[in-house]
Amino acid sequence: MAKNEQPIRLWGGRFTGVTDPLMDQYNESLSMDRVFYAQDIKGSIAYARANVKTGILTQEEFEIIEKGLGEVMKEWEQGKFEPAPGDEDIHTANERRLGEVIGTHIAGKLHTGRSRNDQVATDMRMWLRDELILIEEYLVDLLKVIAQRAEQDIDYIMPSYTHLQRAQPIRWSHWLLSYATAFQSDLERLRFTKKNVNKLPLGCGAVAGNAFGIDRVQMAKELGFEGLIMNSMSAVGDRDFVVEVLQCASSIGSHLSRWSEDLIIYSSLEFGYVKLADAYTTGSSLMPQKKNSDSLELLRGKSGRMFGAMAGLMMSIKGIPSTYNKDLQESVQPMLDTVKTLKDSLQIAARSLATATVYPEKMRAALSPDMLATDLAEYLVRKGVPFRETHHLAGRMVALAEDENKGMNELTVKQYQSVDKRFGDDVLSVFDYERSVELKSTTGGTSRSAVLEQLEALKKSLSG
């Protein structure tokens, strides 16, 4: 091509002016959407096959196109595909190369009745569908690791926290399963979203539909779609399926962030409940003693990145008029980035937890008798005293222990009875952490039986 010669463009017939080179660069998307090369080629083969029935292509022409697209696919797979000037996107690149392989006369028939509008929507849905299968697998893997650790470490008792202050004793497994519950909800949303993604736009043309009676159901079956998008305008102008995925990713990222924050705190020397494996930590360039939980900090930070991608895309599409507008090209980059970030994050989270060392003796040492003040109040409830009264009496005992600079379990029975005669000689039996957690046996509680019930529900959900 001569230096000042313009490349031939699919849409160039009514244009006579020269395109600004900066506009070419600003407009191109091949640098991003080249990842859809396989989906684009498979979609083109299905479209060509369906056009044999419409009479647009003969069987012989279809076979030539199919063989030619197979050669183009091999070039991509082997890293030999060479983009040319004028290849704005993966669609024009593949069609241009097909024309070079089989000749432009037959290759030129492929795009009949088709638009890049329905083509890109199809490519994105096919690519995203495959990636969501992987994301689901990684999320299930994380949940399996949580379940395994919860079962393995079920005897470990630790403080729970509200307002980041020590609250009541719980099983470490109960803390683990609190996040499993959140990730289970994410899994349900992800599975629902995957079904929404897996609907075919191809055959809807640029905006109004296909004029040649193409069999969209046949194409859907060939390409593995579960259904059709029934309105052509919606099919080409909708990116809600990307937004939904980014929303799912943001929710998962938010839960990963909170989970990471807890583990960062628990792995600090001040707590010492957990130690991450060397494979998921780094050191300091200045302080030799440092072991930083970088994997968890990155999980926490990348959740913001995923949320930003979602918010950015929603702002890009919220005000555009109906059907396809070039603004929708801005859905590709955040989708690609978020999918990679989420896949990496889920794997890092699962591996970090699977290889972490837990120190139950540090957890036990962090428990204190005042954390059983509620148990003390409930002790009197079992004797028929109204809870509002028992809460007040338990609070008085907390204050007395503080004044005496003793643990509540170190006060004498006589001191308890000096506050209220209804404290019996067995009152000190309240100060048993194992007893405390075992009393919380209602579904959802932290007793062994309740935790095992949660575990069973979790395992059952993973088979769906």
Residues recognised as catalytic: 163, 284
Residue 127 corresponds to which tokens in the numbers above? 């690519």
Scanning the structure block, which residue is given the tokens 């795009």?
111
Helices 332-355 and 294-317, packing angle to 10 deg: 160
CA dihedral 199, 122, 210, 45 (to 10 degrees): -110
CA dihedral 27, 31, 335, 321 (to 10 degrees): 10
CA atoms within 13 A on the CB side of 86: 15
Q: What is the DSSP string of 197-263?
A: H-EE-TT-TTTT--TT---HHHHHHHHT-SEE-S-HHHHHH--HHHHHHHHHHHHHHHHHHHHHHHH
Reduced to 3 states, what is the DSSP secondary structure of residue 20? coil
CB neighbours (10 Å) of residue 399?
11
Residue 290 corresponds to which tokens in the numbers above? 């440092």
Decide: 167 and 160 in contact? Cβ < 8 Å.
yes
Residue type, 255: H
Tell how strand 227-228 and strand 199-200 pair up: parallel
Scanning the structure block, which residue is given the tokens 């930590």?
281
Decide: 216 and 228 in contact? Cβ < 8 Å.
yes
Helix (H) or strand (E) holding 176: helix 172-197
Among 424, 427, 433, 417, which Cα is nearest to 372's?
Answer: 433
Among 113, 247, 99, 273, which Cα is nearest to 185's?
Answer: 247
Looking at the DSSP assignment, which residues form a beta bridge with residue 169?
159
| Contacting residues for 338 by C-beta, under 8 A, at least 6 apart | 245, 246, 249, 305, 306, 309, 310
64-97 in b/e burial notation, b at 16+ Cβ within 10 A? bbeebbeebbeebeeeebebeebbbbbbbbbbbb
